[in-house]
Structure 1
Amino acid sequence: MRSATPGPAAADRSDLTARARVRDAAVGLFGRSGFNVSVRAIADAAGVSPGLILHHFGSKQGLREACDDYVLRRIRDYKEQAVRPASADQLLLTMASVEESAPLVGYALQSLLAGGDLARSFIDHFAADAEEWIAEGVRAGTILPSLDEKARARYLTVQGFGALLLDLTLNPPEDPSDFAGAMRGYLDRMGLPSTELFTQGLLTDRSMLDAYLMYVGDPPKA
């Protein structure tokens, strides 16, 4: 007769499943409530003991680092699967509308608010991606060239996420878990003015730019 005790392979699979369950519960709670959520609350949501969390991750910080790695990897996967280049707003709205990925959006936004390594990696990734699709637009003649393409791509990334986070702070969703609704509300409020600025511009001449370049040491060449 076979032993009722699971073998090493079965035990390993169970162990990995418990680890993933804890990680997913942590991502959801951190995304909804921020990073002050207790280990006890995460354990309750995952249906495990706090001791098991410490066994797998060593500490709450270790759990946070594992969540950071997982969320950034998943968001990169979504970007790579996109058929067309997508802005941060478009990507986050698409992800927030999908039940399984919506917690990633909440976690990413909380991470940007909190700062730290994930926030930097997140912005660096989006800025590098923006630089690529903007360069494609410049080559195609649909986007004006810049004196500093890398700096422009990073500015657009930081400006876009900064506007998003400030707007969501001023207009918090009634349901903190409704990330899709929050993103749609932001686009409803900001879609027209942002699109107008990108397509029509703001100033009628470049005198402000010329004045700025006069006082910059070693300015980029036009």
Structure 2
Amino acid sequence: MRSASDDLTTRARIRDAAVARFGQQGFAGTSLRQIAEDAGVSAALILHHFQSKEGLREACDAHVVRTFLSENEQMTGADASRLMRDALNSVEDRGAALDYLSRMLVDDSPASDNLFDAFLAGTRTMLREQIAAGIMREQTDVEATAVYLTLYGLGPVILRRHLARAFGESTLTTSLVERSTIPVLELFTHGLYADERLLTAAKEALSPSNREAK
């Protein structure tokens, strides 16, 4: 008789095989039979666990989103330095998840929309919690900030070939991410502009009086 722990292990093995296949071939280009072969199970067992191919994709989405967002949430804690080092050391082991995201996010489909929205919801929650904790500054428009933070976070995933090429690498590597870490955190921590001239100009340009003058 199969135990509950065996079922969980089998479910995770199927999910991980699907993440790898979907990342390589896309959702439409992958069959349940291929995933079953990779996971060492039958296609019928996949349907038993996930009901459908679409249900399997939803489970893959949830797993990948949870993995990346949970890392970001933990980085501000007492063990931030150790967790950051662990994340840097595991960059090259994340190829399957990165391939999955880059393919799934550019689909013109409701499933792709749902995947992006899941990241946006997680970013929105993180932003509000970190503002409340005093880690991040108050924002004029939290929703707009959450959207752009989500785009910023996912951009390197979708464009990672160009990112790697710009750094003289063939793919994302630990050394590439190490080189990027301080400049990115400096940008978010200290900002880019030395004064508020452009911000002031934008506020003036968007003021009601200037809009009415058009």
Shorter-chain TM-score tier: 0.5 to 0.7
Match runs of 1:63-82 below 5 Å: 63-79=56-72, 81-82=74-75
Among residues 21, 34, 45, which one is paired with 1:29 in the alignment? Answer: 21
Shift of 1:211: 0.9
- Aligned to 2:48, the other structure's residue is in SS state helix
Deviates more, 1:93-102 or 1:158-167: 93-102
Give the C-alpha shift of residue 13 in structure 1. Answer: 5.1
- Which whole-Å CA distance do the structure 2 matches of 1:101 and 1:136 have between them? 30
Shift of 1:46: 0.4
- Decide which of 174, 180, 190 is 1:199's aligned counterpart: 190
- Matched residue, 1:211: 205
Verify: 1:119 aligned to 2:116, yes or no. yes
Q: Answer yes or no: is the 8 Å Cα contact 1:23–1:66 preserved in 2.
A: yes
Work out the CA distance in 2 between the residues paired with 1:146 and 1:12: 46
Provide the residue aligned with 1:38 in structure 2: 31
Q: Percent of pairs identical after alignment?
A: 28
Worse overlay, 118-127 or 184-193: 184-193
**In structure 1, distance between residues paired with 2:207 and 2:51:** 52
Q: Which residue of the partner structure matches residue 150 of structure 2?
A: 158
SS in structure 1 of the partner of residue 206 of structure 2: helix
Alignment of 1:94-105 (within 5 A): 94=87, 97=90, 103-105=96-98
* Alpha-carbon distance change, 211 to 66 in structure 1, aligned in 2, over 3 angstroms: same
What are the within-5 Å matches in structure 2 for residues 106-185 of structure 1? 106-114=99-107, 115-137=112-134, 145-148=138-141, 150-165=142-157, 167-171=159-163, 174=170, 181=173, 185=176
Shift of 1:164: 1.9
- Taking the aligned partners of 1:160 and 1:198, their CA distance within structure 2 comes to 15
Cα separation, partners in 2 of 1:153 and 1:48, compared to 1, 3 Å: same
Aligned-partner Cα distance in 1 for 2:66–2:134: 27
Q: CA RMSD in A?
A: 4.1
8 Å Cα contact 2:21/2:30 also seen in 1: yes
Name the amino acid aligned to 1:129: M
Change (3 A) 1:98 1:170: closer
Q: What TM-score do you get using the length of structure 1 for normalisation?
A: 0.63
Cα separation, 2, equivalents of 1:95 and 1:190: 9
Question: How far does residue 120 in structure 1 lie from its aligned partner after superposition?
Answer: 0.5
Change in CA separation of 1:75 and 1:196 when aligned onto 2, cut-off 3 Å: closer
SS, match of residue 121 in structure 2:
helix
Gaps of 5+ in 2: none
Asked if 1 retains the 8 angstrom alpha-carbon contact of 2:156 and 2:163, the reply is no
Distance in 1 between residues matched to 2:42 and 2:211, nearest whole Å: 59
Paired AA for residue 43 in structure 1:
A
